Structure 1
Amino acid sequence: MISFLRHAFVDSWLGRVIAGLLFLAFVGWGVGDVLSNMGSERADVVAHVGPNTITTDAFMGAVQSEMPQVARQMGLADASQIPVATRREAARQVLQRLVMQSEVALSADRHGLIVPDDVLRDEVFGLRDFKGPDGRFDRKLFDTRLRQIGMTEGRLLDLVRTDIASRALMEPIRNSARAPETMVRRAFDFDAQTRTLDLVRIAIGDQSAPTPDPAQQRRFYDNHPWLFQTPEYRHARIVVLSPETIARSMEVPEEELHRLYDAQQAKYHLPETRTVQIVTAPDEASARTVAAQWQAGATWAQVQAAAKGSASVQMDGVRAASIPSPALSKLVFAAPVDSLQGPTQTDTGWVVFKVTQVLPPHDTDFAAARQELHDQIAQARAGEQVGVRVQQLQDAIAGGGLDRIPDTLGASATGGTLDAQGRTQSGDAAPIPASGEARLAILARIFSQAKGANPTLVQGPDQTWYAVSVDSVTPGQIQAFSAISDQAAAAWQDEARRHAANVQATDLYLAAKTKGGVALSAPAAQVVHSPPLVRGRQTTGVPDSLAQLAFRIGAIGQSVMVEEPDGFYVATLTAITRPDPSTQPMQVGRIRTGLSQSIAEDIEMSYAMALQNDVKPKTNMSAVQSVLSSVTGPDGAEGTVR
């Protein structure tokens, strides 16, 4: 469902400008400072919304902010790889969002919504990007941020006032929405339902395989050439600019480190924490049944499986104050380790629990915390510096390639030979100064960029900017059979083991279908009884593919077979449990809140569409097409979005 407020306000000036994305106003397609001209009348207007206008600069800046997110959602390395049609559609949606923002603000003004000065002041003082390390509003930081985006204090206050009035108009619409209880119950039945399996794993590694003769080895080699090809290697030079690379070179005054340390006392002076397993039963009889089974030596997984109609939870490293029930908290923090407690009646029901771990209070002194404190402050400030330094890095690359990058930028440079998985020729991870999605994006760029092509600064995930230069390419080659005959023999045997496991699993699956389950078709020692499976949660010993398939099985007693890298699994559905909503009020409340929020979002969108019919915004198609051409290239040709 569409979230109007999320797009209309979180992605508005408040989210785009204030919440860590200031740098986007200074980089991109050469449009200059997007925000410095806000509020001034320009000839390049893409839309009129009543008396208000949306300029091409504002539209361009919003599209520029959107494209990297679209690329990440599509799994692409950078925005330049987004297909033309997708870019144009994303740009149109951005324009629609800007129009909706303006329509809501205009409606708030027409309804006479007035924002008092004290409310305006509290809103500005509450914005985290204007707060210093002590968590309080910092006037100097406020002035610095405004200078960075070329905005006057008066203009910012006008924007904040408009945003508050718009929210005052929309929030009552959102807060009035409530999901029907019938819908909540059906959603709970779907979400809380658990399923149990009997399963048998046929491991590939447990199968035996004969030794192939030379003819079999050669035939396997000829039929599977991709298994015996060396990877392509490329020698590349890389420059990365990110909050992490900038933070490494930042200096933080000692007094600021001490202020942050004092502000985070709860983090560096930890109270006692405990890990506890708790079952909450609806009545004493059910609780005593759980306690008896647990006392008899049942594992936690077995206790959970047997506690039908009860709520079970494991709380790891919990503090006393974090347990919702004060009475239960007192019991948990008074109990000895590994001693079964209960049944005891509390305000949450009849509880049976066991404390499995106790961590004593722990204090971290300033000296031990210093580096972490430095990293917190440096990384927060480094994010603000990325935008300022991107243009400088771009200029440096344009002037001298990747060999003349000033040390003062905080960029990190490296070079070497690696394969598409980021491994060096020795098999080690290449020292690329990025991690996660940013590292993957850089690797993708290296192996898609032509040898000798000029380096171009590209925006990646997580405020990471990078440029690469590919100096040489060593194509992958099929190794000679004489050099890898032993490897071919091992690969032949691996394939033979997989085939043997497949045949064994298929025979078991067919027998389970005939006899009514794997428990009646396989030796008892091979059958594993799974704990209750919950939608969307991983369960030890049960592959995700099998857990997902379990919720598509139509009836108890039905068997399925799945293939995994380590072997084959044959499973039979043995139980479907539908808990009583009264035993899980927290989950019911979470579902009710989520559904109500979704309904509110739909109502908000309907209201926004009604506003559009009333205001009837006018679009300047020539200006829109001009921006779209910048996004996709003239006449729909491929363009570059950076």
Structure 2
Amino acid sequence: MISFLRHAFVDSWVGRVIAGLLFLAFVGWGVGDVLSNMGSERADVVAHVGPRTITTDAFMSAVQNEMPQVARQMGVADASQLPPATRREAAQQVLQRLVMQAEIALSAERHGLIVPDDVLRDEVFGLQAFKGADGRFDRKLFDARLRQIGMTEGRLLDLVRMDIASRALMEPIRNGVRAPETMVRRAFEFDAQTRTLDLVRVAVGDQSAPTPDPAQLRRFYDNHPWLFQTPEYRHARIVVLSPETIARSVEVPEEELHRLYDAQQAKYHQPETRTVQIVTASDEARARAIVAQWQAGTTWAQVQAAAKDSASVQMDGVRAASIPSASLSKLVFAAPVDTLQGPAQTDTGWVVFKVTQVTPPHDTDFAAARQELHDQIAQAHAGELIGARVQKLQDAIAGGGLDRIPDTLGASATAGTLDAHGQTQSGDEAPIPASGAARQAIVARIFSQAKGANPALVQGPDQTWYAVSVDSVTPGQLQPLSSISDQVGAAWQDEARRHAANVQATALYLAAKTRGGVSQAASTGQTVVHSAPLVRGRQTAGIPDSLAQLAFRIGSTGQSVMIEDADGFYVATLTAITHPDPSTQLMQVGRIRTGLTQSMADDIEMSYAMALQNDVKPKTNMTAIQSVLSSVTGADGAEGGVR
């Protein structure tokens, strides 16, 4: 919801039209110039909002521009890999946003918000997309941009005027919101709380194990046959069709590569970044004491431990614009490497800092980026081609099995012997032309399909289609005890060591519960480790994540717990719960306050927008909506319009 409203009200519509659609639409889905009809008036519309209409073209353009952002949020390399259901949901949210934008613009009109011509002119002149090399508004560039997106000057000015009026209506609502300090303090206490453990690790490898006698060896062998069985192997032929396999055969025009390169300037032209360690003290005297300690050769960890009354943080690979304080950013990016700086007064307090690493600006030229650009566009085009090629592949398999697959389909074929884990007989990963969930599905299909069964094209995860044919099956066999006695003996001893470690850890845990903790219960030879303060959501060296998470679920100090991991057991006692003073960590409190304020502003905006929707109920054209959703998802039907 928060990101939804950010898109709807904070991001400028004109910025999205010029900066987003102008570039991304050309490559995101391979639909060509989707903006060519953007300025035209068409009879078909997807929704009416009072006297305003949302055209099918506007809806389609907004959806196509949204999909790459959805893909990035879901960690998908390309929007064409999004499941149809996800694309349909995103399209419905885009329609909801467009309706809300129209409702807000209509509300601004009803409130009499009129945008003067000079304000409109200043807004247009300030758009970066229309500025020349000298940083000033360039009329020729302005005209060229409008021609490029097929928009008239009048239509653009209407969009800008509507955007300014809508912002004038909504920004006071946002600017009047502030998170209550009680809420900020509670969130800070949850986030900044630290916990300390005393713990003992009982390692499996430290335990001794006797040599098993023949009877013990035989009994263990008989009771654990799955440990000593050779895997079943199957020889199979595999054909895979996916956006990745199709993309390898897609040719991309050079001008399209250059267009994408220009659109991704921020990615290929990286500014300087720095890694910096910063301590913020409440006054100059405390800052000077930190300087003296740091100059004496104290490590960063020791500085942090000693500066518990101050805020300490390490920023890794941070950009100048990412440092929340402008004055601090200026100091950090002017400082030499590995030289202690400060004390210096900033708007966050008195700071002492050291820059430990500088990564210079990096530019990737077109030649170096070309292959990556090609892959992006080819995969986008492949997502469009796969529907038609699936049918052709299905026909080819029905007509001639896996032996007559046309080269023109972009399918990838392979054959070989593998086990149920997808490994060859030499222990290497079988070269199946798929990865992740799709690869697992193919292997599972090989080991569930009968030998000699006719291949059938199956739809798998991530827009992957595949067919397999199992030629031969080599069953797994239990190896004779006489040939693997050493292996059986080693497995018996491993289990004996784990059992011994379990018994030892359990005894320590029971003693710790009755004696007040592991420090009092540990016996000679058991090393008690006093952990560094654990921070919620962060890893601590020497502490398993499962134990750290459990530490924050313990109700009070003095309680003991026991966990098992791959190499042994941990017995731990919670020794301290620390509640930092908010006045010593002003930067963290500020981030929490900003985040909560943002969330509350988004919620209030949503409530206002929903109230507008109840006042001016939109009328949707389900036929037009269904047409757009079908073209986006490759499937018929929309489950609903504006919700």
Give the TM-score of the pair, scaled to structure 1. 0.70
Q: Return closer, same or farther for 1:287/1:635 CA change in 2, 3 Å cut-off.
A: closer
How far is the alpha carbon of 1:591 from its aligned partner?
0.9
**Aligned twin of 1:507:** 507
How far is the alpha carbon of 1:593 from its aligned partner?
0.8
**Aligned twin of 1:593:** 594
- What amino acid sits opposite 1:470 in the alignment? V
| Cα distance per residue 1:288-321 (max 9 Å; x no partner) | 8767877888654344334321222335577999
Tell me, yes or no, if the aligned pair for 2:238 and 2:469 is still in contact at 8 Å. Answer: yes
| Structure-2 separation of matches of 1:633 and 1:250 | 29
Unpaired runs of 5+ residues, structure 2, are 397-403, 450-454
How far is the alpha carbon of 1:180 from its aligned partner?
1.8
| Alignment pair present for 1:125 and 2:129 | yes
| Structure-1 separation of matches of 2:586 and 2:536 | 18
**Aligned twin of 1:640:** none
| Structure-2 separation of matches of 1:432 and 1:204 | 37
How far is the alpha carbon of 1:509 from its aligned partner?
1.7
| Structure-1 separation of matches of 2:37 and 2:185 | 52
| Cα distance per residue 1:236-281 (max 9 Å; x no partner) | 3345546996999886999999999x9999869x79x7x6645444
**Aligned twin of 1:221:** 224
How far is the alpha carbon of 1:50 from its aligned partner?
1.6
After superposition, residues 340-489 of structure 1 pair within 5 angstroms as 347=346, 373-376=366-369, 379-380=372-373, 383-384=376-377, 386-388=379-381, 390-392=383-385, 394-395=387-388, 398-399=391-392, 403-404=405-406, 413=412, 415-417=414-416, 424-429=424-429, 439-444=435-440, 446-447=442-443, 452-454=455-457, 460=462, 467-472=465-470, 478-482=476-480, 487=487, 489=489
| Structure-1 separation of matches of 2:486 and 2:141 | 69
Please state whether the residue corresponding to 2:456 is helix, strand or coil: coil
**Aligned twin of 1:545:** 546
Tell me, yes or no, if the aligned pair for 1:200 and 1:569 is still in contact at 8 Å. Answer: yes
| Cα distance per residue 1:456-492 (max 9 Å; x no partner) | 7x894xxxx7554434487795442437666555444
Q: Return closer, same or farther for 1:221/1:158 CA change in 2, 3 Å cut-off.
A: farther
Tell me, yes or no, if the aligned pair for 1:49 and 1:102 is still in contact at 8 Å. Answer: yes
Q: Return closer, same or farther for 1:172/1:244 CA change in 2, 3 Å cut-off.
A: farther
**Aligned twin of 1:100:** 100
How far is the alpha carbon of 1:594 from its aligned partner?
0.3
- What amino acid sits opposite 1:600 in the alignment? A
Tell me, yes or no, if the aligned pair for 1:239 and 1:466 is still in contact at 8 Å. Answer: yes
Q: Return closer, same or farther for 1:331/1:61 CA change in 2, 3 Å cut-off.
A: closer
How far is the alpha carbon of 1:572 from its aligned partner?
1.7
| Structure-1 separation of matches of 2:48 and 2:291 | 70
Q: Return closer, same or farther for 1:281/1:99 CA change in 2, 3 Å cut-off.
A: closer
| Structure-1 separation of matches of 2:319 and 2:124 | 37
How far is the alpha carbon of 1:564 from its aligned partner?
2.2
Q: Return closer, same or farther for 1:69/1:299 CA change in 2, 3 Å cut-off.
A: same
Please state whether the residue corresponding to 1:116 is helix, strand or coil: helix
| Structure-1 separation of matches of 2:147 and 2:242 | 26
| Cα distance per residue 1:306-344 (max 9 Å; x no partner) | 4321222335577999895489659963866xxxx6995
How far is the alpha carbon of 1:387 from its aligned partner?
4.1
- What amino acid sits opposite 1:374 in the alignment? A
Q: Return closer, same or farther for 1:446/1:535 CA change in 2, 3 Å cut-off.
A: same
Tell me, yes or no, if the aligned pair for 2:207 and 2:497 is still in contact at 8 Å. Answer: yes
| Alignment pair present for 1:20 and 2:16 | no
**Aligned twin of 1:184:** 184
- What amino acid sits opposite 1:376 in the alignment? A
Q: Return closer, same or farther for 1:327/1:175 CA change in 2, 3 Å cut-off.
A: closer
Please state whether the residue corresponding to 2:540 is helix, strand or coil: coil
How far is the alpha carbon of 1:105 from its aligned partner?
3.6
| Alignment pair present for 1:567 and 2:565 | no
- Percent identity between matched residues is 51
- What amino acid sits opposite 1:20 in the alignment? L
Tell me, yes or no, if the aligned pair for 2:282 and 2:349 is still in contact at 8 Å. Answer: yes
Please state whether the residue corresponding to 2:5 is helix, strand or coil: helix
- What amino acid sits opposite 1:116 in the alignment? L
Tell me, yes or no, if the aligned pair for 2:252 and 2:374 is still in contact at 8 Å. Answer: no
After superposition, residues 18-417 of structure 1 pair within 5 angstroms as 20=24, 39-42=41-44, 47-53=47-53, 96-111=96-111, 112-114=113-115, 116-117=120-121, 119-120=123-124, 122-123=126-127, 125=129, 146=149, 162-163=162-163, 165-212=165-212, 213-222=216-225, 224=226, 229-230=231-232, 235-238=237-240, 241=243, 277-282=277-282, 300-316=300-316, 325=328, 329=332, 333=336, 347=346, 373-376=366-369, 379-380=372-373, 383-384=376-377, 386-388=379-381, 390-392=383-385, 394-395=387-388, 398-399=391-392, 403-404=405-406, 413=412, 415-417=414-416
Number of matched pairs = 591
- What amino acid sits opposite 2:528 in the alignment? V
- What amino acid sits opposite 2:176 in the alignment? S
Q: Return closer, same or farther for 1:264/1:163 CA change in 2, 3 Å cut-off.
A: closer
| Structure-2 separation of matches of 1:358 and 1:211 | 54
How far is the alpha carbon of 1:386 from its aligned partner?
4.7
Tell me, yes or no, if the aligned pair for 2:458 and 2:465 is still in contact at 8 Å. Answer: yes
| Structure-2 separation of matches of 1:497 and 1:11 | 64
Tell me, yes or no, if the aligned pair for 2:199 and 2:530 is still in contact at 8 Å. Answer: yes
How far is the alpha carbon of 1:173 from its aligned partner?
2.2
Tell me, yes or no, if the aligned pair for 1:508 and 1:521 is still in contact at 8 Å. Answer: yes
Please state whether the residue corresponding to 2:224 is helix, strand or coil: helix
Please state whether the residue corresponding to 1:177 is helix, strand or coil: coil
| Structure-2 separation of matches of 1:60 and 1:186 | 44
- What amino acid sits opposite 1:544 in the alignment? D
Q: Return closer, same or farther for 1:546/1:627 CA change in 2, 3 Å cut-off.
A: same
| Structure-2 separation of matches of 1:33 and 1:250 | 17
How far is the alpha carbon of 1:556 from its aligned partner?
2.0
Please state whether the residue corresponding to 1:119 is helix, strand or coil: helix
Please state whether the residue corresponding to 1:562 is helix, strand or coil: strand
| Structure-1 separation of matches of 2:254 and 2:517 | 66
How far is the alpha carbon of 1:201 from its aligned partner?
1.8
Tell me, yes or no, if the aligned pair for 1:276 and 1:332 is still in contact at 8 Å. Answer: no
How far is the alpha carbon of 1:501 from its aligned partner?
2.5
**Aligned twin of 1:616:** 617
Which deviates the most, 588-597 or 390-399? 390-399
| Structure-2 separation of matches of 1:67 and 1:256 | 16
Tell me, yes or no, if the aligned pair for 2:200 and 2:526 is still in contact at 8 Å. Answer: no
Q: Return closer, same or farther for 1:428/1:404 CA change in 2, 3 Å cut-off.
A: same
| Structure-2 separation of matches of 1:252 and 1:113 | 42
Please state whether the residue corresponding to 1:526 is helix, strand or coil: coil
How far is the alpha carbon of 1:428 from its aligned partner?
3.6
How far is the alpha carbon of 1:502 from its aligned partner?
2.5
- What amino acid sits opposite 1:606 in the alignment? S
**Aligned twin of 2:401:** none
- What amino acid sits opposite 1:440 in the alignment? G
After superposition, residues 493-532 of structure 1 pair within 5 angstroms as 493-522=493-522, 523=524, 526-532=527-533
Q: Return closer, same or farther for 1:432/1:447 CA change in 2, 3 Å cut-off.
A: closer
| Cα distance per residue 1:156-207 (max 9 Å; x no partner) | 7765665555445433322332112222222222212222222222223333
| Cα distance per residue 1:126-179 (max 9 Å; x no partner) | 79xx99xxxx998899589748xxx88876776566555544543332233211
| Structure-1 separation of matches of 2:223 and 2:550 | 34
| Structure-2 separation of matches of 1:175 and 1:231 | 66
| Structure-2 separation of matches of 1:397 and 1:35 | 30
